[in-house]
Structure 1
């Protein structure tokens, strides 16, 4: 693919406790496919700041983009996705929120049993950390042990405020969206994902745990490259 300032690319938004590093394998696979990408490093202080960081990344990217959000990153792209450069939203086991919803309170999937995430969280003042062992097992349930351990060692604390953040804009109402339900997820209940996915333009299901960017980077890259190509054809 010839690279010009008008070629669409991908902007990738991580979830809680992570950083831009979690997209490294996906970005490498996208580069092999000729797709430019950037991964946002969220401050994880509150949803407003995380949304602003993503809008700033879109501005710096400076070309049409498919905006991809994983887990909490779905709340971020829901708020940032109305940016005029965004051509499509891709939700990976992510929070496709509606008006008034936050990651700690969604109407979609109400009444479902909790996953083990609450048991893995450790709260100290305004900070929320994950138990190193249990957190890694939940986030990377289908990853090789060395991959899960390496990723788990890089997790960082987040502010309690992020769990209460409500998007100011609901971008999926006006921007096409693709939702990937991860059916073996032990962090965001698959049935909750399916309930949120009903809001998307199209839905896929993968037999994956919560972190396909780590366990299936080629598959994630193939999907993102496909949506970037579609965005390019649509102009």
Structure 2
């Protein structure tokens, strides 16, 4: 690995934890990449704060790397990643993995046409069927293990609005997950038009678990082609 190869900084989605990236990180390690995974404060057993707190956590990790960075954000993680990287010259590329690539003044809730809640200082219950929504292409045992690692999530993170998104000044790639049951392909495509480039992977919402080697190879292609 050359000294100019970027570190991949991985930003997890809502309800998830950094360990969700472990399979992908192992595959990226084989390809010679250094990786780091952000621990977002709005998700976890002691969930606190809002999207800006998550963005601060991303900024701190970028600063700690001290060299070129490619941000890889999943689902909700695209929002604090966009907010954090603006103006940071060491961030060379943004990758939105079926992620929210929002514009100025948008929040996750507003993007879905949901009005701002009266009270944001609450946790979002994990409702519905996470097995189908997040892990439809995992085995039952793998899905059960992944579900057991899900944590509480703060509502404020979904209500906070983006100020100046980094994708307006930093090149970006959107990875559409074509079998995603959590963020429909039509919504992914709506956000993907904001990216510099669009790629696709035949997976559900969590290819870092279901197709880690394939996703690692795709990220390698994106990093190699950047700039």
Query: What RMSD in Å do the two structures reach over aligned CA positions?
Result: 1.9
Aligned to 1:215: 210
Aligned to 2:99: 94
Unaligned 5+ runs, structure 2: 43-48, 114-120
Aligned to 1:202: 197
CA distance in 2, matches of 1:180, 1:104: 21
Unaligned 5+ runs, structure 1: 111-124
After superposition, residues 65-214 of structure 1 pair within 5 angstroms as: 65-82=69-86, 83-106=88-111, 126-131=122-127, 134-214=129-209
* 1:179-213 alpha-carbon deviations (Å, 9 max, x no partner): 01112111111101001000101111222111111
CA distance in 2, matches of 1:173, 1:84: 13
CA distance in 2, matches of 1:29, 1:129: 32
* 1:96-140 alpha-carbon deviations (Å, 9 max, x no partner): 001111111227xx7xxxxxxxxxxxxxx7111314x71232110
Judge conservation of contact 2:11–2:77 (CA < 8 Å) in 1: yes
Question: Per the alignment, in what secondary structure is the counterpart of residue 167 of structure 1?
Answer: coil
Q: Displacement of 1:218 after TM fit?
A: 1.0
What's the TM-score once normalised by structure 2's chain length? 0.89
* 1:61-106 alpha-carbon deviations (Å, 9 max, x no partner): 1110110100001111111222221000000110000111111122
Question: Per the alignment, in what secondary structure is the counterpart of residue 105 of structure 1?
Answer: helix
Judge conservation of contact 2:103–2:164 (CA < 8 Å) in 1: no
CA distance in 2, matches of 1:129, 1:156: 10
Question: Per the alignment, in what secondary structure is the counterpart of residue 84 of structure 1?
Answer: coil
What's the TM-score once normalised by structure 1's chain length? 0.86
CA distance in 2, matches of 1:230, 1:80: 23
